[in-house]
Amino acid sequence: MAGIWAASYGSSVYVLSNYWYDELRGFRTFDDRKNWLQVDKMGHAQTAYFQGAWGAKMMHWAGVPHKQATLIGGSIGFVNQTVIEILDGQSPNYGWSNTDFFANAVGSIAFIGQELWWKEQRILFKFGYQAQNYQQYQNTQIEEAALTEFGTGAEAFFKDYNAQTYWISGNIHSFLPKDNKCPKWLNVAVGFGADRMLHATNNINKGINDIQRRREFYLSLDVDLSRIKTNNRLAKTALFLLNVFKVPFPALRVNSDGEVKVVPLGF
């Protein structure tokens, strides 16, 4: 397992350093605390969390005792993200971000702490995505700005922070007395996202100042797929991997403008 991880991660870092970054040179820092209304920071925490969950699961599969598997496997996300942060620090287009580093640590600590304290994950970090329709603004300048900034298809999936929502999903059954009748798979989730962002810091950089950026907060139900019982190993693995995504349910949304709305499905 160590060999597989070293080979896969080493090759991915090589590809990143040679194809994602135009050039790498002297190390520098970059203060991006206000970028994308902090949605990207939630992305860092969530990525480190689920990579740690997957890493620990692989360690368990390989026969490593629980505590060592949790500490080693659960740290994989933090290690992965830190190496990428070092590469960012050597890129003239980016830079080392202390807030990214902190968010990575939060995600890993959230997994490791729960596993050591409860020996289970009662609080999950999850991800949701809903593609944005920028034609709704009926403004070609906005459409062009979004296309330039986010791209389309798979590129937009990773870059369009307007389309992403990050969730903290708590399992109800595990926090109640042991003899409670609540379904073991039912969770309640709080989500965070943002809307109307066309640039990292402000829309004026895209020549657009009549659309105000805003944060969005959600309350919804969710499903912990890993708690759904099945004897099929393939199904169990699939449910574990898919548990990174929020299960769509109706949601209450409140944005920073004070607007309250019930949305049919909260992703």
Last residue of a domain, one of 85, 120, 155: 120
Shared domain for 110 and 219, answered yes or no, is no
Cα atoms in the 13 Å half-sphere on the side-chain side of 265? 7
Tell me the angle at which helices 39-61 and 66-73 cross, rounded to the nearest 10 degrees.
140
Last residue of a domain, one of 120, 145, 161: 120
pTM score of the predicted model: 0.92
Shared domain for 94 and 137, answered yes or no, is no
Shared domain for 210 and 191, answered yes or no, is yes
Shared domain for 126 and 85, answered yes or no, is no
Q: What is the pLDDT of residue 98?
A: 95
Q: How confident is the model at residue 214 (pLDDT cuts 50, 70, 90)?
A: very high
pLDDT tens digits, 80-98: 899 889 888 888 888 899 9
Shared domain for 161 and 261, answered yes or no, is yes
Shared domain for 53 and 126, answered yes or no, is no
Characterize 94-110 residue by residue with b for buried, 16 or more Cβ atoms within 10 angstroms of its Cβ, and e for exposed: bbbbebbbebbbbbbbb
Whether 177 has a pLDDT exceeding 90, the answer reads yes
Domain count, the chain: 2
Whether 109 has a pLDDT exceeding 90, the answer reads yes
Average pLDDT for the chain: 91
Shared domain for 216 and 104, answered yes or no, is no
Tell me the angle at which helices 76-89 and 39-61 cross, rounded to the nearest 10 degrees.
130
Shared domain for 12 and 112, answered yes or no, is yes
Cα–Cα distance list, 51 to 45, 57, 78, 117, 125 (Å): 10, 10, 8, 19, 11
Shared domain for 114 and 147, answered yes or no, is no
Q: Which domain holds residue 232?
A: 122-267
| C-beta atoms surrounding 263 within 10 Å | 16
Shared domain for 229 and 192, answered yes or no, is yes
pLDDT tens digits, 140-170: 888 888 998 898 888 889 889 999 999 999 9
Q: What is the pLDDT of residue 19?
A: 67
Last residue of a domain, one of 99, 120, 141: 120
Three-state SS at 150:
helix
Shared domain for 116 and 158, answered yes or no, is no
Name the token pair of 75: 């740290």
Number of H helices, E strands in the chain: 8, 6
For the chain, what is the largest distance between any 2 Cα atoms, rounded to a whole number of angstroms?
A: 59
Shared domain for 76 and 154, answered yes or no, is no
Whether 24 has a pLDDT exceeding 90, the answer reads no
